[in-house]
Amino acid sequence: MFTLASVVAIFYLFSVAFAFPVIPLKVPPGDANKILCQLPIVSRILCPLSARAALTRPTVFGTATGAEDPSGAFRFPVKYASSTRWAPSTVVTSWNLPNGFTNASSLPLACPQPDVDSSAYSEDCLSMVLYVPPSLTLVSNAPTLVWIHGGSFIIGSATGPGLDGSKLAIATNSIVAVVQYRLGALGFMAPSGKTNLAVQDLVNALQFLKKAVPAFGGSASKITLAGQSSGANMIRALLAVPSASSLFTSAILQSDPMNFGFLSPTTQSVMQNFFTGEINCSATDSACLNALSLDTILDAQSDLFGSAADLDPAAGKNQPIRPVLDGSLITSPLDSTRPFPTQTKPLLITTVSEEAAFAIYSSFPDPLPEEAFEPICDATFGEPRTSQIVSSPLYSPIPSVNGDVDARSQLQTLGTDYLWKCSGWTFARNWVGHGGKAYVGQFVVGSTYPGNEAVPFCTQPGIVCHQDDIKIVFGTVENPTPEQAALTTEIQKRYKAFLTSGNPNVPGTATWSPATSSNIPSLLLGGSGVAPVGACVPSFWGSGVQYDYQFFNE
């Protein structure tokens, strides 16, 4: 790669060879670079753009227009794909701001979702926001991190709390793209029976980025997916999409509820029939379908969400609308119910220490006697899984300092293990056992995510609830403690290394050892050492008790 120094030398040689007059550069090196960057042929390729110049970029789609983010990066909102209601999306052919906006400072409207003012969302929502560090030049060959938001596939957006990618982009010297995709029934419940529209949306987003990022100093061959909760679940779906494999090189899955396998076509069909009945339009009546109000669609979606587990227990109660193992787009379950395919991509797989705490302590705001543990387990797991759980010393009562037992503590540990931690370890074992590489970690320092403060347990010192890792990663914690600031610095350094090399180890930090098919050294992020194994062994979760994806899909 050319450097400023080599360009100086070449320019000097050309000047001598062609008898151009040369004026010796008797200026300090830093000022010499500034002078050199005034040369048009040099500045366009090797020099960071000024703020004013950086707000427009020529791309293969046309001129991109952006704005300066308050945190320092250049921000480019863009519509990446188009679609009509319940039809597959297609990649755009020209660069346009989202939602017909003309001001590049405007951020995209969210996709339609419940409990949000209708002025904040639009069906025309297939947009993303690019955050570009000012330091990048056209030959930076920088990596891109594509963030896929969570929200149980029914809520969330690219502009959710803490998702300003500016600080993360600058710290990792990468382009950060925060992406939206169709949610809920509009993304997964097309009356025609066409499944996984939302998954295809993200395939299109990656196709768009592969063409677009070189104009911002990015490499088309260094794209990493990252996401949290259902966003990580969506990444797991993309890992099972053969046509998407060439579009990204690595992935970061944060708090993926891996106990939820992909929906089977049979379960999807049952849910689809219920939803179509709720909207009272036949699958072929396009006039009726297009005339439906978003309120009607969202109401029917809510009815489906609440009824799904009764329609088919395999759907579950917490995330029933999700990707479908359709056999055409998604071709493998990537779990232990079928032979695991050969893998090559490196993964980071992380959870937080109290993943299930928000759900448990919000459902049961008052302490529970030990006698409540078994019936609550039975309502969730049924027999014979409950008897195996309650008879195991791994989930024995945990007395408090005054000797009292609160069954919520057991339920929290149990929920964290089966839904997130242990199922993630099983996935990692399968991944590395079939050729891939995986680094597994657990956040033991976090920052209370908006909404989690409603559960007092989640605000206690040392407690890290679901979503509390997001602001740490993005560097958007307000007034961080020394521990939070230190972990943000560390995790951003590790992500920078992973984006470039597929390895999160950097000098000055603890060694993060990769998982093997038999050993999961889960690094404590914000602590020291590795997480205890506990129940996360194949002979208990995944075999003796079984995850839901095994129990319902035998």
Q: State the Cα–Cα distance between residues 172 and 503, nearest whole angstrom.
A: 14
CA distances from 268 to 58, 260, 262, 276, 343 (A): 43, 14, 10, 12, 27
Q: What are φ and ψ of residue 241, in 5° steps?
A: -105, 100
For the chain, domains (ranges, CATH) are: 4-46 (no CATH), 61-254 (3.40.50.1820), 265-315 (no CATH), 346-552 (3.40.50.1820)
For the chain, 554 residues long, the average pLDDT of each consecutive 10-residue run is 38 35 42 49 54 80 97 97 98 98 97 96 98 95 98 98 98 98 98 96 98 98 98 98 98 97 97 97 95 98 97 95 98 96 98 98 96 96 94 90 90 97 98 98 98 97 98 98 98 98 97 97 98 96 93 80
Residue 541 near residue 422 (C-beta atoms within 8 A)? yes
Residue 198 near residue 331 (C-beta atoms within 8 A)? no
Neighbours of 472 (CB within 10 A): 27
Residue 93 near residue 59 (C-beta atoms within 8 A)? no
| Crossing angle (nearest 10°) for helices 265-279 and 294-311 | 140
Read off the pLDDT of residues 299-331 as tens digits, 9 standing for 90 and up: 999 999 999 999 999 999 999 999 999 999 999
Six-digit token pair at 272? 């689809």
| Peptide bond connecting 393 to the previous residue in cis, omega within 30 degrees of 0 | no
Residue 441 near residue 348 (C-beta atoms within 8 A)? yes
Six-digit token pair at 99? 């939602």
Q: State the Cα–Cα distance between residues 349 and 441, nearest whole angstrom.
A: 6
Q: Please name the residues in contact with 152: beta carbons below 8 A apart, sequence gap of 6 or more.
A: 229, 230, 318, 319, 321
Q: State the Cα–Cα distance between residues 347 and 434, nearest whole angstrom.
A: 13
pLDDT score, position 52: 54
Quick check: is 229 catalytic?
A: yes
pLDDT score, position 398: 83
Burial class (CB in 10 A: 0-12, 13-18, 19+), 307: middle
Q: Please name the residues in contact with 321: beta carbons below 8 A apart, sequence gap of 6 or more.
A: 152, 153, 154, 184, 185, 188, 189, 271, 301, 304, 305, 308
Task: Write the single-letter amino acid at 382.
Answer: G
pLDDT score, position 3: 39
pLDDT score, position 401: 74
Given the residues 83, 152, 219, 229, the one annotated as active site: 229
Q: What are φ and ψ of residue 132, in 5° steps?
A: -120, 120
Please choose, from the candidates 435, 439, 417, 426, the residue with its C-alpha nearest in 3D space to the C-alpha of residue 350.
439
Question: What DSSP character marks residue 183?
Answer: -
